[in-house]
Copies of this chain bind each other. A is one copy, B any other.
Amino acid sequence: MTEPMARQIVLASRPKGPPTAANFRLEEIPMPQLPRGGLLLRVLYLSLDPYMRGRMDDAKSYAKSVDIGEPMRGESVCEVVQSDRPGYAKGDIVLAHTGWRTHAAWDGPDLRKLDPKQAPVTAGLGVLGMPGFTAYSGLYVLGKPKAGETVVVAAASGPVGSLVGQLAKMVGARAVGIAGGAPKCRYVVDELGFDACIDHHGPGMAEQLAAACPKGIDVYFENVAGAVWQAVLPLLNTYARVPVCGLIAYYNMAAPPAGPNLLPATMRAVLTKSLTLRGFINTEFVAEHYADFLRIVSAGIADGRIRYREDITDGFENAPAAFMGLLEGKNFGKALVRVAA
């Protein structure tokens, strides 16, 4: 009789530029054992997020790099298989930072339990989880849009951007999205209720963005950088706020890009328009704002004012390919891998 095995995906080598399949390695390992006082978890859904690209580099960041041979890090929706912890029972659904694994022995601090009757459990990895709180805290705590102001966000069909625009509309601001391709743009306007959405695959992105922002831009929620930032820069109004939560255009750069040097133009705009650029990680705001976030966004989902979309890849072994697609913008909605649901 063969023992049941678990699987994990480790960092096999560091990417230079965009990751390739060779940077990942799928491993079979013995099934982890229930730890004393802990839980044995079975991963149902694994979350894929752009920040994971940064963890693959050996560079100082806000979080430690993944070591070679170590499982990729990440959050997942899990089912409790065995419990030696009071308050947790077999069959409970929890959010855990398991990394890219099919099973995990959890002896860490308490986990966030999910109630499948309140919202689909996968929302806990998206609009009701880290991406959602990133949108909420960046927009409401740092961006502070007022009624009548204009908010711009890229990756507008994704889990962060889609909520940024919907939260902007909830305070009476104009919401302008940027997304890749006509189907995503249609979804952003028709389903999510943005005022406009610019297709960055099409020609004249900068001109279209200017036309969609006749009163300039008051809040630009930065999650992509690159060409979008260059198009946004001349449209920013005096005292505009730029919460910076991601720079996906840079994540795959292997070396400093060739010229021209675009830093002076950005710094000149910061000076002459009294801009505020503020980098942030959502964890900074959890203690003060997470409860409000859950309350407001849960209510918005329940009454239909907040909508979201998921892009689910089947099969744990397909996580690397889905992740590489995410970095190229191939997903349409929150990227998830169905591992065992």
- Where the two chains meet, the residues of A that have a C-beta atom closer than 8 Å to any C-beta of B are 54, 60-62, 222, 225, 229, 238, 244-247, 250, 253, 256-281, 284
Contacts and interface: CB of A to CB of B under 8 A. Distances in A.
Given A244-B271, A256-B265, 11 more contacts: A62-B273, A229-B267, A245-B271, A250-B267, A260-B261, A261-B261, A263-B263, A266-B266, A272-B279, A273-B279, A274-B280
A8 B238 CA distance: 33
30 contacts: A54-B272, A60-B272, A62-B272, A225-B267, A229-B267, A244-B271, A246-B271, A250-B264, A253-B264, A256-B260, A256-B261, A256-B262, A256-B265, A257-B259, A257-B260, A258-B260, A259-B259, A261-B261, A261-B263, A262-B262, A263-B263, A270-B278, A270-B279, A272-B279, A273-B279, A274-B278, A274-B279, A274-B280, A274-B281, A275-B278
Given A259-B257, A259-B258, A259-B259, A225 B273 contact: no
Nearest to A276: B278
A284 B264 CA distance: 23
Among A225, A265, A277, which residue has the most Cβ atoms of chain B within 10 A?
A: A277
Given A256-B264, A258-B261, A263-B262, A275 B271 contact: no
Contacts of A222: 267
Q: Which 8 A-B pairs have the closest CB atoms?
A: A259-B259, A270-B279, A262-B263, A277-B277, A271-B279, A257-B261, A263-B263, A256-B260
Given A258-B261, A260-B259, A61 B274 contact: no
A64 to B, nearest CB: 12
A284 B244 CA distance: 24
Interface centre among A60, A229, A258, A274 (most CB of B within 10 A): A274
Contacts of A60: 272
A276 B274 contact: no
A277 B272 contact: no
A267 B238 contact: no
Contacts of A246: 271
A265 B281 CA distance: 18
A54 B267 CA distance: 14
Contacts of A264: 225, 247, 250, 253, 256-257
A275 B267 contact: no
A337 B171 CA distance: 52
Contacts of A281: 274
Nearest to A225: B267
Nearest to A234: B60
A210 to B, nearest CB: 15
B274 A62 contact: yes
A288 to B, nearest CB: 15
Nearest to A284: B274
A94 to B, nearest CB: 28
Contacts of A276: 276-279
Nearest to A278: B276
Contacts of A259: 257-261
Contacts of A250: 264, 267-268
